[in-house]
Amino acid sequence: MSKTRILIVAGEASGDLHGAHLIEAIHRLDSSYEFYGLGGNKMRSAGAQTFFDIERMGAVGIVEVLGDLGHYVKVYRRFAREIANGGYDAVILIDYPTLNLRLARLCREKGIPVFYVIGPQLWAWRAGRIKEIKRNVSKMFVIFPFEEEVYRNAGVDVEFVGHPFTETVAPQMTRADGQSYFNLQPDRPTVGLLPGSRRKEIEMLLGPILEGAQAIARELNTCQFILPVADSIDPEVLKKKAAPYNLDIQFVSGKTYDVMNVCDCLIIASGSATLEAAMIGTPMVIVYKLNALTYWIARPLVKIKLYGLANITAGEQVVPELIQGDLTAQAIQRETLKFLKDPEYADSVRNKLLGIRKSLGRPGVMERIAQSIVRALGPGEKKE
Domains and CATH numbers, the chain: 2-162+361-382 (3.40.50.2000), 175-360 (3.40.50.2000)
Whole-angstrom Cα Rg for the chain: 21
Q: Which pLDDT band holds residue 341 (cuts at 50, 70, 90)?
A: very high
Report phi then psi at 152, rounded to 5: -65, -40
Query: In the predicted model, what is the mean pLDDT of residues 304-313?
Result: 86
Strands (E), the chain: 2-3, 5-10, 34-39, 49-53, 90-94, 114-117, 139-142, 158-160, 190-194, 224-229, 249-253, 265-269, 284-288, 321-323, 381-382
Residue 1 has pLDDT above 70, yes or no: no
Report yes or no: 5 and 381 within 8 Å, Cβ to Cβ: no
pLDDT score for 289: 85
Q: Higher model confidence: residue 325 or residue 179? A: 179
**Poorest-pLDDT segment among 247-256, 291-300, 317-326:** 291-300
pLDDT score for 94: 96
> Measuring CA to CA, which residue among 12, 10, 20, 19 is closest to residue 197?
12
| DSSP β-bridge partners for residue 7 | 36, 91
Residue 24 has pLDDT above 70, yes or no: yes
Mean pLDDT of the chain, nearest integer: 90
pLDDT score for 40: 92
pLDDT score for 63: 47
In this prediction the pTM is: 0.77
Query: In the predicted model, what is the mean pLDDT of residues 209-224?
Result: 97
pLDDT score for 300: 53
The whole-angstrom distance between residue 28's C-alpha and the CA centroid of its chain comes to 25
Q: Which pLDDT band holds residue 168 (cuts at 50, 70, 90)?
A: confident
Residue 292 has pLDDT above 80, yes or no: no
pLDDT score for 298: 57
Instruction: Please give the full DSSP string across 146-158, using - where no structure is assigned.
Output: HHHHHHHHTT--E
CA dist., res. 267 & res. 227, Å (int): 10
Residue 257 has pLDDT above 90, yes or no: yes
Q: Which pLDDT band holds residue 240 (cuts at 50, 70, 90)?
A: very high
Q: State the pairing for strand pair 158-160/139-142.
A: parallel
Instruction: Please give the full DSSP string across 198-238, using - where no structure is assigned.
Output: SHHHHHHHHHHHHHHHHHHHHH-TT-EEEEEEPTTS-HHHH
DSSP structure class, residue 164: T
CA dist., res. 169 & res. 280, Å (int): 7
Report phi then psi at 90, rounded to 5: -165, 165
Residue 302 has pLDDT above 80, yes or no: no
Please name the residues in contact with 220: beta carbons below 8 A apart, sequence gap of 6 or more.
Answer: 189, 337, 340
Percent residues over pLDDT 70 in the chain: 91
pLDDT score for 195: 95
> Measuring CA to CA, which residue among 94, 116, 1 is closest to residue 48?
94
Report yes or no: 167 and 143 within 8 Å, Cβ to Cβ: no
Tell the burial category of 64 from Cβ atoms under 10 Å away from its Cβ (0-12, 13-18, 19+).
buried
CA dist., res. 225 & res. 331, Å (int): 18
> Measuring CA to CA, which residue among 95, 94, 107, 99 is closest to residue 136?
107
How far is residue 49 from each of residues 6, 43, 297, measured CA to CA in Å? 11, 8, 37
Tallying the residues shown for the chain, one arrives at: 384
CA dist., res. 103 & res. 8, Å (int): 11
Write the pLDDT tens digit of every residue in 54-91: 876 655 454 455 556 777 889 999 999 999 998 999 99
pLDDT score for 299: 60
Q: Higher model confidence: residue 92 or residue 62? A: 92
| DSSP β-bridge partners for residue 49 | 36
